[in-house]
C-alpha cells in the first residue's frame, strides 16, 4: 500500500466542469439495484470545495461525473466507498480523494470518516466505527492500492489521515469523483466493488 502526500489548501472553489467525454450508456450494479451513467471526465487541478493539490510529479487529479439512480425508483442506501479507479497498465487500484454532490450553486463533499482514531476532534472528519470502510472488501490480485492521506489541522499542527465517506440514501443523484491518477496514463476502468462499471478516458 502506497501513500503519496497531498497538501491541504484552505480555500473554497466553485468548480466549472467541462466534460471532455459524454456517455449515454447505462451500467447496472449491485444485482441491478442501481444504474450508473457516466456524464463526463476531465483532468483538473482541484476537487470540490475543500481542495487538495498534489505534490507528486507523477500524479494528476482526474474528475469523473456520474449519475446514479435506483432501478425501482425507491430510496436505497448507496455506498460510494465501493468505487475505485483501476490503472491496468501500472497495476494500480486507486481510492478517490474526494466525492461530492451539487447543492444549489456549490459542491459539497460527502462527510469524511477517519480510518483510525483522531488525535483531536476536527470539523472536517469524524469517527464512526459502525460504518464499515467497504473499499477493502474487494480484492484485485496483483494490484497495488493507492490512497492519499489528507492533512487536517492548521499551519501549526496537523494530523494526517486516509479517509472514507459516509454512505447516503438516495433515489437519484449526480456525483463527482476525484482520483489521483498517473500522469503517464489516460485510460482507467471504474469499478464498483468487483463489478466493472465503465472504461473512462481522460484528455
- pLDDT value of position 90: 95
Residue 15: pLDDT above 80? no
Residue 80: pLDDT above 60? yes
List phi, psi (to 5°) of 36: -125, 135
Q: What's this model's pTM, rounded to 2 decimal places?
A: 0.81
Q: For the chain, how many structural domains are there in total? A: 1
- pLDDT value of position 178: 94
Give domain status of residue 37, yes or no: yes
Q: Are 80 and 139 in contact (CB under 8 A)?
A: no
Output DSSP code: residue 73: S
Provide the sign of the torsion angle of the four alpha carbons 14, 15, 18, 24, taken in this order: negative
Report pLDDT digits (tens) over 83-130: 999 999 999 999 999 999 876 566 678 889 999 888 888 888 899 999
Whole-number Å distance between alpha carbons of 109 and 142: 31
Give domain status of residue 1, yes or no: no
Give domain status of residue 142, yes or no: yes
Q: Strand, helix or coil at 137?
A: helix
Q: Record the cell numbers describing residue 190, joined without a space.
A: 471504474
Which structural domain range is residue 59 located in? 6-201
Residue 179: pLDDT above 70? yes
Output the CA angle 170-175-179, nearest 5 degrees. Answer: 135
- pLDDT value of position 133: 96
Report pLDDT digits (tens) over 123-173: 888 999 999 999 999 999 999 999 998 887 665 667 788 999 999 999 999
Higher pLDDT: 32 or 161? It is: 32
- pLDDT value of position 183: 93
Q: Are 164 and 113 in contact (CB under 8 A)?
A: yes
Neighbours of 147 (CB within 10 A): 20
Amino acid at each position: 500500500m502506497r501513500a503519496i502526500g497531498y497538501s491541504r489548501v484552505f480555500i473554497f472553489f466553485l468548480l466549472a466542469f467541462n466534460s471532455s467525454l459524454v456517455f449515454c450508456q447505462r451500467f447496472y450494479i449491485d444485482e441491478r439495484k442501481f444504474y450508473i451513467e457516466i456524464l463526463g471526465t476531465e483532468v483538473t487541478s482541484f476537487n470540490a470545495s475543500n481542495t487538495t493539490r498534489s505534490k507528486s510529479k507523477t500524479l494528476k487529479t482526474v474528475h469523473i461525473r456520474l449519475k446514479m439512480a435506483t432501478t425501482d425508483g425507491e430510496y436505497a442506501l448507496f455506498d460510494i466507498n465501493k468505487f475505485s479507479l483501476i490503472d491496468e497498465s501500472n497495476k494500480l487500484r486507486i481510492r478517490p480523494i474526494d466525492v461530492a454532490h451539487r447543492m444549489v450553486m456549490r459542491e459539497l463533499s460527502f462527510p469524511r470518516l477517519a480510518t483510525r482514531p483522531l488525535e483531536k476532534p476536527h470539523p472536517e472528519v469524524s469517527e464512526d466505527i459502525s460504518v464499515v470502510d467497504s473499499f477493502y472488501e474487494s480484492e484485485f490480485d496483483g494490484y497495488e492500492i493507492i490512497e492519499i492521506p489528507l492533512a487536517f489541522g492548521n499551519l501549526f499542527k496537523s494530523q494526517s489521515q486516509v479517509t472514507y465517506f459516509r454512505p447516503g440514501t438516495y433515489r437519484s443523484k449526480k456525483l463527482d469523483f476525484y482520483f489521483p491518477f498517473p500522469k503517464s496514463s489516460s485510460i482507467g476502468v471504474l469499478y464498483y466493488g468487483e463489478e466493472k462499471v465503465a472504461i473512462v478516458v481522460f484528455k
